[in-house]
Structures are given as C-alpha cells and as structure tokens.
Amino acid sequence: MELRRGVGVYGVLWDSGRVLVVRERGGDEVPGVWRLPGGAVAHAEHPEHAVVREVAGQTGLTVTVDRLRAAVADVTTYPEDDVAVHTDRLAFELSTRGGALRDAGDGPTDQARWVTMAEAERLPLAPFSAELLGLPVTPLPTGAHRPAEPFPPAHPDRRLRFGAYGLVTDPAGRILLTQIAAGYPGAGRWHLPGGGTDHGEQPTTGLLRELVEEGGQLGRVVELLGVDNLHNPAAFGPEGRPLDWHGVRVIYRVLVDVPTDAVVTESAGGSTARAGWFTPVEAADLPLTGIAASAIGQSGR
C-alpha cells in the first residue's frame, strides 16, 4: 500500500456561543459531512496563511490567527486505490476581522453556518472536528471521505516533512539542544530536539520518541507553543541531489523532571551528532538553527 502525507489546517471561530462549521459537498449516495472550516496546506505555504485563505474561501470571512490550539494526526485508508493517507491536522483559534458569512460558490464545501453546541452534536461531524469541540465522535457513513478526484502522482523532487520539536528544559532551567550531523542541512548548528513523525504517529508521541533517541531523556509535554514553517527549494542532504523541501514543524514546551547526561541513542547514520544541556547564557553563544533561536527567545514569556 502506498503511504502518503498531508497537512490540514482548520479554524475555530466563535460568535455569541456559536461555532462556525462548513459542510463538505456530498454525492448522490453520501450526504455532506460537517466540519470546522479549513483545508490542505499548499506546498511551501505557511500553515497560518493557509488557514486564513481557506476560511475566507469557504465562508467569506476575513480572519486573523490568535494561536495554535491543537495538533493531531489520523490515517484514512482507500483500499480501492491501495493508498493510506496520513494527515497532520492543525487547529487555530481565529478572530473575525471583516467580511460577511456566505456559502462557498464552488470548491470542497457548499454551506457555512453558525451553530450552537447542541446543534453541532446533531450534525454528522468529521471525527477531528467533533473531538476538538469536545463532542461525541461517531462513525461517518461509508464512503464519506471518498476523494472527488484520483490521487495525483507524487512529485519527483518535492518533499513534505511534518515534524514535532521541543523546547526542552530541566528543573534547573537548562535547555537541551542537539547538534546536526555532517551531511545534513544545517550541519554543525544546534537544534531543538525532535524530528519528523512516522506515518500514523501522533506529534507528541513522535517528539517523546525523538527525545529518547537524540538525547536519552524521558520528558513530558506541557504546552503547545506554535508552528514553524520552513521552505528550502534546493536542500542538499543524504539523498545526494537537491530537493524542494517543505517542513511544517510544531513546537512544544517539554519538561524533563529527572535529567541525565545527554546521550544520542539513535542508530548510526542519524542526523544528530551529539546533544547537551546548556544554560540560557551558554545557549545564546551557540550557532543555533532559526527554530531553536526563536523558541529560546520566547522561553521567558
């Protein structure tokens, strides 16, 4: 079975105790499913830009992003196509800045409505939307997620990588950092622990796995900080040729209650050369990756 990845973004908007939902276009045999407004992130697009674009197209509303609220993953299997699609879904809390609510003229949705929670509970809600709103998750009709068009062939030179990274600290306030190994983009720079998630893996699960592999530490996730976007149209790595990479990276705050010496435990040939604990002053003098510098700069908020 072919394994595919995608990133979806969704907006949570409230108005007088009502939440905004949209209905996907249904077919003759399958009714439309209701969900939070949003859609797929385009190649190289920042997720925050994508959710603003998708919400405007589906509802007519102009919105701004307040914060990243949740990051989860699910897998949908299409036996007829022999394809399993892993989707990392990001939900943002949004504020309305203008526009007027309307139904979409074309595209994947055909209705947009403000509904109370009681009304939402009676709708056929997509599982992700129901879970995020704290409503019961019920199975959808067979074929409800059947794609309208065949899966396009994968682009030979484009890569999408969804990763989970941590601003990892211990009770003394030290920060755990990892150094990128030779042969990988950013070699020699100090980075946040974390990395790409596996097919079918939740972001927090992947992060805690990487924390053990890259630093030998057991941690606990305490807060979702935000999302970082990286586009490198000619990244040269172990593949031996430049590739057009798009990285979407969620960042968590992680605590290690009982720190130990930082040791790289992943198998030889990994992207991490070494790991270490540093005070904030020591970390400021290191050659840091952009995401590490940004996260450390926000650590005192």
Cα-Cα-Cα-Cα torsion 266, 225, 296, 258, nearest 10 degrees, comes to: -50
27 phi-psi bin (left φ>0, alpha ψ -120 to 50, beta other) = beta
The predicted model scores a pTM of 0.92
Q: Write down the pLDDT at residue 240.
A: 78
pLDDT (average), residues 81-106:
94
Q: Write down the pLDDT at residue 63.
A: 98
Domains of the chain and CATH, by start? 2-133 (3.90.79.10), 158-296 (3.90.79.10)
CA angle 136, 138, 144 (to 5 degrees): 140
287: pLDDT confidence band, cut at 50, 70 and 90? very high
The one-letter amino acid code at 120 reads: A
Summary mean pLDDT of the chain: 92
Is residue 205 predicted with pLDDT exceeding 50? yes
Is residue 50 predicted with pLDDT exceeding 70? yes
32: pLDDT confidence band, cut at 50, 70 and 90? confident
The conformation of residue 37, written as its DSSP 8-state character, comes to S
pLDDT (average), residues 199-226:
97
Range of lowest pLDDT (38-47, 89-98, 114-123, 240-249): 240-249
Q: Write down the pLDDT at residue 185.
A: 84
Is residue 119 predicted with pLDDT exceeding 70? yes
146: pLDDT confidence band, cut at 50, 70 and 90? low
Is residue 268 predicted with pLDDT exceeding 60? no
Q: Write down the pLDDT at residue 269.
A: 57
Highest average pLDDT, of 21-35, 89-103, 151-165, comes from 89-103
203 phi-psi bin (left φ>0, alpha ψ -120 to 50, beta other) = alpha
Report the 10 Å Cβ neighbour count for 235: 19
Percentage, residues of the chain above pLDDT 70? 93
Cα–Cα distance, 108 to 244 (Å, whole number): 27
pLDDT (average), residues 215-244:
90
Q: Are 12 and 132 in contact (CB under 8 A)?
A: yes
Q: Write down the pLDDT at residue 15.
A: 96
For the chain, what's the residue count?
301
Q: Write down the pLDDT at residue 27.
A: 60
pLDDT (average), residues 48-60:
97
Answer with the residue of higher pLDDT: 289 or 143.
289
pLDDT (average), residues 160-186:
95
Q: Write down the pLDDT at residue 301.
A: 42
299: pLDDT confidence band, cut at 50, 70 and 90? low
Q: Are 201 and 71 in contact (CB under 8 A)?
A: no
pLDDT (average), residues 205-227:
97
